[in-house]
Amino acid sequence: MLVYGCTVGGTFVYDDIFVILSDPRMAHPSLWGRFWTQPFVATPDKPFRPLLSMSFAVQYFLSGPRGWPFHLANILLHALASGAVAELARRLAGLRTAWFAGLIFAVHPAHAEAIAAIVGRSELVCGLAIFCGLCLYLRPLSAGRIAAIAGCGVVALLTKEQGMLFPFLILFLTPFRRALLRPVAERKQTAWLAAILCYLLAGYILYREMAIGFSWDRAFLEWVLNPLVRSRGIDRVLMPLVLVGRYAVLLAWPHRLSVDYGATAIGWTASPRDPYLYLGIFTVIAWLVALAFVSLRRKWAAVFCLLALGLTYGMVGNIAALIGPIFAERIIYLPSAFVFILAGMVIGRLNLRLMAPLLVVLTAMGGAAAFSYARLWNDPIALFKQCVRDQPGSERVYALLYREYILRGDWRSARRVAGESIAAARESDGPYTMCIDADLALGDLDDARAIYDRGMANCHGFERLFLVLEGGKLAAAASPTTRAAPSPP
């Protein structure tokens, strides 16, 4: 609460505008039923999060388009999720692990986007439901507790796609639970729980397939959002390892944070000179060695955390299939909990006189960094300026900053930002379109024509720009293909 209380005075930023303010379903209760039959947002990947949409709609109905109730709800949800992580760690490995995992999870700067961005609530609710369900599973099963676990599964499923992993996480936790509750015979209760979770997952898959479908064509995925669509051959194999290295650095030393890492910020080719590639390879090897070691020693709590980390990260790491973004801070929210529990198992073995001050220092450093970054979300221009400085290869952050300047009527600043964005994505039509629009607003027709020529020369094979001369006035428009707004995977 101390770290993220600064966001209560914030507004709607980034995807919040598309998901909440621009969705006509939010303000009309008669349209709320469509949340259960239509995608979360109109994007190619067709996310389905009806419970999340309902939470936004109810808040919008009660408080209108005011940001503070939405932000306050996010802060409270993150506080609850942090407490659930601490309790899960306590039941797995004791009180010292709980202190470490809960506090670091609460203040880690990589989580700032999930909390400060209102749409980040999908991560918060899904994570909270999963953590609570796992905690409940580590107690003797009763009819009420089985119902509560199933309820957690339903909430997770209807809030974010990662909720589909909940039954598998329960399965991974079973060996530790058997060792913990060995005297208790619960074959019947366990069978009921397994059957209920299987039916819930199957029912969700069937319902979603009938409502909106699961499959989507990756050809509609824009390379400026996920450059991996351009990876070929060995690069498609190695780039996920580069991402593993980047996520490892993000969790160990979160600096240069950004709302987007697309276009050339990360790129689509794996260079032998890229340190992230070798860090990713080392991280994967370390995970395999650690899993083999703790499995042989039957350290079931560590086995569970390693398997849970691999499963939850595997869904968002662009490994088997591409997702919306190439890299995003918000999607590491759930996997990071298992990293911090594992770290707590190691740190918790230190002498208390050493562990206590270390934990205080880490909490203070993480909290200060998270506060500084979260506070930027109250001022979109300051936020996107910082993102441009930290990730100058991302076309998306330039476009977001460009839009903010336009909303304030500052076309000269918008034109400057548009010109700088060409370096981030020279082969995308987006920067050229922004430049031309700004030139037209400023009356600089000669520069608009020059930018158009550059765009036509550099954007071969991509969306083309079209000029329309009407009464001697130059106009610019994008291809008839609508550029979809990005959303979380």
Every domain of the chain and the residues it spans:
5-211, 229-348, 394-477
Residue range 36-58, pLDDT digits in tens: 999 998 888 889 999 999 999 99
Interatomic CA distance for residues 27 and 21, integer angstroms: 9
Residue range 125-162, pLDDT digits in tens: 999 999 999 999 999 999 999 999 999 999 999 999 99
Q: Name the band, by pLDDT with cuts 50, 70 and 90, for residue 481.
A: very low
- pLDDT at residue number 186: 83
Q: Average pLDDT in the 362-380 region?
A: 97
Q: Would you say residue 315 has pLDDT above 80? A: yes
Amino acid letter for position 115: I
- pLDDT at residue number 486: 39
Which tops the pLDDT comparison, 116 or 180? Answer: 116
Q: Where are the alpha helices (DSSP H) in 64-107?
A: 67-93, 95-107
Q: Hey, what long-range contacts does 190-197 have (CB within 8 A, 24 or more apart)?
A: 190/141, 192/146, 193/137, 193/141, 193/146, 193/149, 193/150, 196/146, 196/150, 197/149, 197/150, 197/153, 197/166, 197/167, 197/170
Whole-model pTM: value is 0.93
Interatomic CA distance for residues 59 and 65, integer angstroms: 9
Interatomic CA distance for residues 270 and 261, integer angstroms: 16
Interatomic CA distance for residues 309 and 447, integer angstroms: 51
Q: Average pLDDT in the 456-482 region?
A: 49
Which tops the pLDDT comparison, 6 or 468? Answer: 6
- pLDDT at residue number 483: 37
Q: In angstroms, what CA-CA distances link 464 with 60, 393, 431, 456?
A: 39, 22, 12, 7
Residue range 175-197, pLDDT digits in tens: 999 998 875 678 899 999 999 99
- pLDDT at residue number 465: 52
**Mean pLDDT, rounded, of the chain:** 92
Q: What kind of fold does domain 394-477 have according to CATH?
A: 1.25.40
Q: Would you say residue 297 has pLDDT above 80? A: yes
Residue range 50-104, pLDDT digits in tens: 999 999 999 999 999 999 999 999 999 999 999 999 999 999 999 999 999 999 9
Q: Would you say residue 475 has pLDDT above 80? A: no
Does residue 12 sit in helix, strand or coil? coil
Q: Would you say residue 488 has pLDDT above 80? A: no
Least confident piece of the model among 203-207, 220-224, 324-328, 371-375 = 220-224
- pLDDT at residue number 219: 80
In contact, 169 and 311? CB cutoff 8 Å: yes
- pLDDT at residue number 220: 84
Q: Which helix (H) or strand (E) holds 451?
A: helix 445-458
- pLDDT at residue number 44: 83
Q: Average pLDDT in the 339-349 region?
A: 97
What is the percentage of the chain residues whose pLDDT exceeds 90?
82
